[in-house]
Structure formats: C-alpha cells, structure tokens
Amino acid sequence: MIEVRGVRKAYPGSNGRAPIVALDGLDLTVHTQEFLCILGPSGCGKTTLLKAIMGLVTPDAGELRIDGQPALAPGPDRAMVFQNFALLPWADVITNIAFGLDLRGVPKAEREQKARDWIRAVGLEGFERHYPRQLSGGMQQRVGLARALAVDPKILLMDEPFGAVDAQTRRLLQEDLLAVLQYSRKTVVFVTHSMEEAVLLGDRVALMTPRPGRIQEVVEVNLPRPRPPDVEVNPRFNELKEYLWRKLRAMQITGAGHDR
C-alpha cells in the first residue's frame, strides 16, 4: 500500500519570483495491486506526485510510506515508465530491457533470458538486436514497459506513457498493458490527461485540483475485469467519462499553469 499524507512540494521561483507550489497538503492511498489513474488539469502536479512516490523528488512537508515504511529514495520495489521512452540510444532492445537487471548485478545469461521473456510478452520478437532509432514510437514504448517490468517491481509508476504515440498505437499499447498485468499483478499508478484512458485502465481515478495539487475526489471505476474489447459501449463507461469531464471542465475554468 502507498500512503501519501499531507505532502507539500514547492520549486524555487526564477528571477526572484515566489516559489511555485506544485503540491500542498495532498493525501492519497493506493491499495496493493490496484490500478490507480491520476487525472487533472495541466500543471496540477501529477508528475511531481509520481516522482515523489518514486523517490526522485523529496517533499518539503508531509510523509510518504510504502507498506508502512518511509519512502525517501528510489528502491527496487518501484519502477517508472516515462512518456519520452528514455531508452539508451546506443543499446539494442535486449540490452535496454536488461539494463535494470544489469545494475542489480544479475548474471548476463539470466538477465538476457528474462529480457527475452519480456520481449515475447510485449510482442517484440525478432527485434532483439534493433536499436531505438530503428523502432516506431509504439515499439520504443513497449521496450520501456518491458524494461520496467523485467526487474519485477511491486509498484509500477507510469507518467503519461502513451501520450507521444498516435491514437491507434495508443489503444494497442493500452490493451497490451492490461494483458501483461493480468499475469503479472502490480500496484500501478498511471498519470494521464485522458478521461477515456483513465476509465479504460483504472480501478479508481484520483482527480487532482489545479495547482497547488490536492486530491479533490477518488472515483470508483465499477467496470468488469478483464475489460472487454467493446467496453466503450457499456453505458457505465460513458457515464464515468462524462462525469470526469464535467469535473475537469469546472477546474479548467479557474485556469492552470504548466506541469512540473
């Protein structure tokens, strides 16, 4: 379980300006093996929250615990998937996927076998020796997902991972992610700007307020799992999507800054 209590994070202002308060008094609980989507206006601190859970950002106040223990730095229980893929451009697919295992001292034969298992799981067989520049955006993101999952984290943090690909590829990647997580259960915290994506993927959706970010509401997504291919025709899917849009639209009227 991830517990975020009263977290505040501010960034120094530029040219003598006042600090930018990204998060202020944020409370959130993420249950074990839950898929939680975080949705909110641009600039509300979604990425800052994700980085704080990862241990990449230190809150100025409040506390963050994982399974009851303070989470003050990155740890082997967490892995992160970024929007911009963040692959090693000089390394081929199998080396990129095995990178985290290499850092943990896993012997070469074992880490390459695990990398090959994940290559198969994400549908990249035949591309083991290709380099990122030789792959489409969707394929690069599959590599990023496989790299994160190869180290077998308990918690998977995903920062708009499908935001840089076209709509068709995005839907395929969403389906791939759901399929992979069916047999590799994880606690997932998934940042998105898309109401449809949040309802399609999440068990719950946490709505964040404009900056400084707080949790306004957590919405239950009471749709069946595994999600059927035609889940969008379910009246409840559209009810949830429209409810989230009304909430977001009301927030947008107040204006927002830029994501941090």
pLDDT single digits (tens) 139-198: 998 999 999 999 999 999 999 988 878 888 888 888 888 888 887 789 999 999 999 999
DSSP H helices in the chain: 46-54, 93-103, 108-121, 137-150, 167-183, 195-201, 235-252
pTM of the predicted model, to two decimals? 0.90
Query: Any idea what the Cα angle at residue 12 is, between residues 10 and 17, rounded to 5°?
Result: 115
pLDDT band at 228 (very low <50, low <70, confident <90, very high): confident
pLDDT of residue 256: 43
User: Is the pLDDT reported for residue 114 higher than 60?
Assistant: yes
Q: Mean pLDDT score of the chain, rounded to an integer?
A: 90
CB–CB of 204/173 below 8 Å?
no
Give the residues across from 155 on adjacent strands: 78, 187
pLDDT band at 259 (very low <50, low <70, confident <90, very high): very low
pLDDT of residue 254: 58
